Structure 1
Amino acid sequence: MQLSSDWFNAPLYTTSFKGEEMHAELPALLSRKRFGHVHSLFDNGINIAMGEELIFIGTTKNGRLPFGIHLEMENLRRLCQSVRHHDIVVASMPDLLLFRHPSYPLALDLSQAKRYQYKLRTEQYNRYLDLYHADQMVDICRHWGISNGLDATWGAVLAASPAQADSPNDLSIGVQFPLETLFDAIRIGEERSIEQHLRYYLGRGQGLTPSGDDILLGILAVQALTAAFHPSLLEQMDRILSTEQITTDVSKAYLKHALHGRFSDKVVAVLNAMMQKDVSHFQAAVVRLLQTGHSSGIDTAYGIANAVMALRRYKHVKTSCDCIGR
């Protein structure tokens, strides 16, 4: 990215904001990707694009994100009022972002921002019986009062065996791809079926993170914890996201981080709490997840619950010789 001479002749950065928190891996990204622009603006923050990578600057309403910088509300309000769509952004240092505003350029100081990183406790997982509270999760979600974004029923999640479904090879309009058949495909690595199911769900639904993507994100979280399903799931999704504009830029950012095992603190809290016997702690974590967005939280929970129930159906044991995906 080439900057005009006007950039270097701009006024000094007299307006400065301080970041309160940021993901621990963002400084490394800002060392590699120095130039970008304001990608999108929302009520609770902004996205900046640094090359092909998105960084969210905003509140923790939807959790602490794997590509997030979080500010105090007053500083965020002032920042959102000052920047414009497509304004140039430069990482002059890994802990200093400069916004090229036409009247008064702005600086976001990250030098004192607290670094955070939330990790799934994979060392605590050995078999599907280590996930204690799947039934409680379904009960909480059924009584939450907000429907799944794709109008999927929660009763089906508790089915003891996969539901009967149309052939996954039928791509005619109106045919649905039940998650049970996706799990059948990723259990044994049927690449063509996996690809068709992913294409059905990716980008399906409304909003910045369509419901189908949120469901897949929940499945990816269970995969990151358990390594239970065939690696073709990750390989196919990575290929599609890297070569096609199949969903929104924001949703793609979430999914690409998920492929590398990075999730918001809300998602990590649910899965880590599922491996603890304290049901009240787990219930609180689920409620915090459900409060995310309009339906994003319940869609993600739907993906998590379905994936855990699939492990139960297949009676997966990570260390067995016939374990899923091995």
Structure 2
Amino acid sequence: MFEKAILFDEALRETLFSTSEWSVQSVFDKSINLQNKKKNELILVCGLDYPKLPHAIYVEKECLQSLIKTTMKNERVKIAGGWVRIGNTQLSLHNSDHYSSVFESESKLNSASVEKLFHYLHQMTDLNGFTFSLSELGYVKDFNSRWELDALKKIVCGNEREQTSGLDYLLGRGKGLTPSGDDMLIGCLAADLFYKRLDSFFEETLNLKLIGEPVRTTTVSIHYLNCALQKKWNEPIHHLIQVLSKDSTENEIEEVIQSIIRIGHTSGLDMLTGFVATIILFDKN
């Protein structure tokens, strides 16, 4: 059966138009994860109801449903010359639309938009994966009251020993396909696009922990943390950076926050927690 992909991440072009062996890493109700032989890279196959994500291929709903029904975990997948063969399905990437997940802002935070952001967040009661709301984020002096925020404070404000300690605490902490601590780290890295204060030691240490033994977190989480280190982000994060780079309206800010909240069960809220806490910490130091 031949199918055509609707859309794919430009970061995948070299992989998709060369030849390599992959396998099915996981099959969910609305998506499939493919994994390369080295088990250090994933490709998400999903429908257009997902936002644009790093390393993703988007297909029609009927195609996705068929793949989910017929695909088995650990099944071999062949990628060659713009075709992805999954079971009996030959998925073509030729003439498909594409987008770029790579994004590195050179802009500065717009103070008026940040003020609107905090005004909106202070009204939120949704609980993140560590069961506290964004409205509880106050001043730096309050960060010691929660282990997760204290760990983030060590990463953002501490020396190398403290940064390592903070990473050890957050990495892999929490439940789910992408644990809450990892999502907070992704938010922290996204906020640093405005500041560029997280140095090479932090990035190298995080990278070593992602490839070290024993494995500290989930395969999917490792993938998205690696994407963040490579400045590859999901579409809602792109939009958040963009609206905070200019004097945006309250509606624009509310819309982008809601789009992030819709990511996963609490993943979006956890990313926002890391993002907002990092802004607070950087602005107070």
> With structure 2 as the length reference, what TM-score do the two structures score?
0.90
Identity of aligned pairs, percent?
Answer: 23
Segments of structure 2 that go 5 or more residues without pairing to the other structure are: none
Q: For 1:64, give the aligned amino acid.
A: K
1:1-326 to structure 2, matched below 5 A, reads: 15-30=1-16, 34-51=20-37, 52=39, 53-93=41-81, 95-99=82-86, 101=87, 105-120=88-103, 122-125=105-108, 130-159=110-139, 161-163=140-142, 165=144, 177-180=147-150, 182-187=152-157, 190-244=159-213, 245-279=215-249, 280-314=251-285
2 CA distance for matches of 1:27 and 1:121? 19
- Is contact 2:10-2:101 (8 Å) kept? no
* 1:143 shift after superposition: 4.2
1:163 aligned counterpart, secondary structure:
helix
Per residue, is there more helix in 1 or in 2? Answer: 2
Q: Deviations over 1:36-69 (max 9, x none)?
A: 1111011111000022210000024442111111
Give the distance between the partners of 2:280 and 2:143, measured in 1 at CA: 16
**Higher mean Cα deviation, 234-243 or 134-143?**
134-143
**Alignment partners' CA distance in 2, 1:309 and 1:32:** 44
Distance 1:86 1:267 in 2: 31
RMSD of aligned alpha carbons: 2.2
Aligned length: 281
Q: Which amino acid aligns with 2:100?
A: Q
Structure 2 counterpart SS, 1:204: coil
**CA distance change for structure 1 residues 60 and 309 in 2, over 3 Å: closer, same or farther?**
farther
Structure 1 pair 32/158, CA: closer, same or farther in 2 (3 Å)?
A: farther
SS at match of 2:51: coil
The secondary structure found in structure 2 opposite 1:74 is: helix
How big is the shift at 1:309?
A: 1.2
Q: Distance in 2 between matches of 1:39 and 1:295?
A: 22
In 1, Cα distance between equivalents of 2:115 and 2:53: 27
1:112 and 1:225, CA in 2 relative to 1: closer, same or farther beyond 3 A? farther
Secondary structure, in 3 states, of the residue corresponding to 1:122? coil
Q: Residue 64 of structure 1 contacts residue 264 of structure 1 at CA under 8 Å; is this kept in 2?
A: yes
Q: Is the 8 A contact 1:61 1:292 kept in 2?
A: no
* Contact 2:178/2:267 (<8 A) preserved: yes
- Segment of structure 1 superposing worse, 17-26 or 271-280: 271-280
Asked if 2 retains the 8 angstrom alpha-carbon contact of 1:119 and 1:268, the reply is no
Alpha carbons of 1:207 and 1:60: their partners in 2 closer, same or farther (altered >3 Å)?
farther
TM-score, normalised to structure 1's length?
0.79
Q: Partner letter of residue 226 of structure 1?
A: Y
Rg larger in structure: 1
Conserved? CA contact 2:183–2:271, under 8 Å:
yes
C-alpha displacement at 1:132, in angstroms? 3.9
Query: 2:265 & 2:134 partners in 1: Cα distance?
Result: 18
SS of the counterpart of 1:108? strand
CA spacing shift, 1:119–1:162, aligned 2, 3 Å: farther
